[in-house]
A and B are shown apart, each in its own frame.
Chain A
Amino acid sequence: MQDPMAAIRITFFQECDEQMTELTSGLTSMEAGTADHEVVNAVFRAVHSIKGGAGIFSLEQLVRFAHVFESSLDKVRSGELFVSPDILAVFFRAADTLEDIINAAKESKIIREDKVDEAIKSFDFIENNTKKINSDKEEVFINNKDNKIWKIKFTPYSSLYEKANESAFLLREINRLGDVDIDIDLSELPKFHDIDPESSYLSWTIILRSSCSKKDIFDIFEFVEDDCILEVNEENQKNFKPGTVITGDNGFKFEFFGVSEPEFNPDIEENNSAKDNINKNIQDEKSEEKHDNSSLLKNRLEQNDFVKQEETNKTEIIKPVGTVIRVDLDRVDRMINLVGELVINEAMLSQRVLEAGLNRDLGISEALEELEHLTREIQDSVMAIRAQPVRSVFQRMPRLVRELEAMTGKRVHLKTEGEGTEVDKTIIERLTDPITHMIRNAVDHGIEAPDERIAAGKPPEGTICLMAVHRSGRIVLEVTDDGAGINRAYVRQKAIDKGLISPDAQLTDEEVENLIFLPGFSTSEMISDISGRGVGMDVVRQSVQELGGRISILSSPGKGSKFTLSLPLTLAVLDGMVVSTHGHTLIIPLGAIIETLKPKSKDIFVLDKNLNMLSLRGGYVPIVDVAYTLGYSVHSIETSKGVALLVESESGARVVLLVDAIHGQRQVVIKSLESNYRAVPGISAATVMGDGRVALIVDVDFIVKNISCGINTVGVFEKTSGHSEKAA
């Protein structure tokens, strides 16, 4: 059986993530001045819940920090503290630290204490007049070592019963402390017809023989101390030596142990100094209490038995139905797969009906249309389950910008738009890196230092706008900055120096800007601490293209630049071009296709025994016969007879794919080959066509890579006009 605590721990960290999201979005709206009381409450609750959960798992560092954070937020909540921008900045940084601690705790680690201390210190400025947090620990009653006789007088008020307390339970609990004699005082009881059933008339006198402390007795009455008169007095003392056995009337029996270890659960609420105090108290207690907590121990043992015995009882669990349910991603994925099958089956059915040439009057085509409509709707709804707003990614960015500001000394304001734009979870998870990199790039290379900005007549604070929007079945992300823009002359020179373009290459401004995406363009000068980490824009482009996306840049010198990222909404379906070659149907991902063309024989040049080049608008692109490359045919088709598709790989290299025919464009459901068969070089996945046949999806990247080995990509890049945007 899985350890239930481990499962709860996982839940806790999931919840921490949710609470962090709540916290940051709350703080953001406080910053924007749109926060009402409920937002402040939610922010408080977020930190409070994290602290509460952390207590369960004894994550002391987290508890300690969350406690300080929470106290400040509580002041805001109660109106004691006015939220100034300075204070918000402290809160934002605290949220960052909190996240760090949570992330460390996830891996059962802690972050450096000095970092926490520093973060806690930053709260000092909020709480200048902080009163010393006194230990809330109640007075520790120091016990004598031996059995005592306690006389307890207990007179409940009616308010005790109003709060649903019950004297009988309390008396029973006292009974558990030791040997008791209880006398009831009925003197106040009125005549029967005068009795008010909700009034309190009874009181009790209890003689308790126990080694318990006064505190143990008060603990029992803790809930009712304001709703009763309680007198506890020690009658007299008898000394018991360790080893003495006492037997009570009720069969209660215990032996005094020589030494027993007191149990101590440190109250995590305390701050450090308080804790030290308590620890000292405990030390005292330990020495004082060595002999007399045996009965407590006994009680605990009894209870453990009780717990164990009940453990075997089967318990049922009823969970309330909430408005949000959590579903295992696997289940959703399974459903998406099934719906994929449904779509394929529907297409097959349509095709069969068409082939059968059934009479139109039968109404079958209408019914089929309806079915098709429903199937699409189911598919969309299922995809919507897995769709998530990009908010989770966007929310990480303000922190990044704050860190970058601190590192560069630049001032940047981050604006986000369209956080609610939804995209498939599988895509979301892979969006963070490219966006992070684009923002790093914008702060590092785009936005100028404040004095430069002032000199250029701009406000000292730069603005970066991160925007998401749905556009024709894709999600488009834009990162716009109002910085210096791209220095085209510099980029061009760099590309020439790196041998990426020839010195006499004629490039449009746009083409020059897009040179930064070329592999090998990032130079050591470009790799600063911030945008660097050894990752160039080519890596960003590659990761975007792996998702079937495109990235491009548009820049205006002195005014800023705009990165545009366009991605499919899901990885479960793909827009593909259906082609056939040598009797096989293949799918070529639409994202990779730049254009289709019919090559003329005069444009084809034979370079090597198996390598033909196509002259395309003055440049040369290698021609790849798909059937030959995939091993369908040992002979190449006559180059001039086929249809050609100009494709671009993730690395930006281009080839012309030669096929027999193009059948049109359609959306296909992606079926993994790896999980059903095995990885096949040159094939990325498969799909099932309407006629029930399997069509393989061509891995354009693989083909380009294998063909273009040793081919200078310069020629490919340089002369073929058109860039990423063309296919988007």
Chain B
Amino acid sequence: MTTVLIVDDSRAMRDMLQHSLALAGFFVLQAEDGLNGLEVLGTTKPDVIITDINMPNMDGFGFIEAVRRDEVCRATPVLVLTTEVDKEKKNRARAVGATGWIVKPFDPVKLVDAIRRVAI
């Protein structure tokens, strides 16, 4: 089963993703922020990571950079999940190594589409 790691500080958002992804047949792991995400990555290797940008402790940019530096995880696709459509953020995410992005609010079909474009 494809494993997806969700990194988001909002529980509602995590629950929402969890719900949509579980329905679509994904196995879902959760983390609350970048640091927590790295902790989870220390124990499991998901097929796809979906991360928020604005988070406490370690934001999405820092998290992606850390993932890309990691020998084991650097080839894991990372989708950035954000409400921000502004190009600058998207470009910055891309510059630090984001594989793709999902603009909130997303519908479950768009979400699965984005994942299929980078994994499975």
Contact = CB atoms under 8 A, between A and B. Distances in A.
A540 B30 CA distance: 47
Interface string A85-101: 00000000000000000
Contacts, number: 146
Given A52-B104, A303-B112, A173 B23 contact: no
- The residue in B1, B32, B118 that gathers the most chain A C-beta atoms within 10 A of its C-beta is B118
B12 A223 contact: no
Contacts of B11: 11, 15
A394 interface: no
A307 B112 contact: yes
A53 B10 contact: yes
Given A265-B107, A310-B23, A320-B40, A165 B99 contact: yes
B12 A318 contact: no
Contacts of A53: 10, 12-13
A659 to B, nearest CB: 54
Contact of B118 (A12, A58, A223): A223
Given A56-B12, A169-B119, A223-B100, A317 B28 contact: yes
Given A163-B94, A320-B31, 20 more contacts: A4-B19, A11-B11, A11-B12, A15-B10, A15-B11, A52-B13, A53-B10, A56-B105, A136-B86, A162-B97, A163-B97, A223-B118, A268-B105, A269-B85, A307-B25, A307-B108, A307-B112, A315-B1, A318-B30, A320-B36
B24 interface: yes
A165 B104 contact: no
- The residue in B9, B39, B76, B99 that gathers the most chain A C-beta atoms within 10 A of its C-beta is B99
Contacts of A11: 11-12, 15
B25 to A, nearest CB: 3
B118 A165 contact: yes
B45 interface: no
Nearest to A316: B27
A159 to B, nearest CB: 9
B34 interface: no
A52 B10 contact: yes
Interface of A: 4-5, 7-9, 11-12, 15, 41-42, 44-45, 48-49, 51-53, 55-56, 58, 136, 161-166, 169-170, 172-173, 220, 222-223, 226, 265, 267-269, 300, 303-304, 306-307, 309-311, 313, 315-320, 322
Nearest to B94: A226
A78 to B, nearest CB: 10
A704 B26 CA distance: 66
Contacts of B68: 162-163
Contacts of B72: none
15 contacts: A9-B12, A11-B12, A45-B9, A49-B13, A51-B83, A52-B105, A55-B83, A55-B104, A136-B85, A161-B75, A165-B118, A169-B116, A304-B109, A306-B25, A320-B29
A41 B62 CA distance: 15
B39 A223 contact: no
A266 B23 CA distance: 24
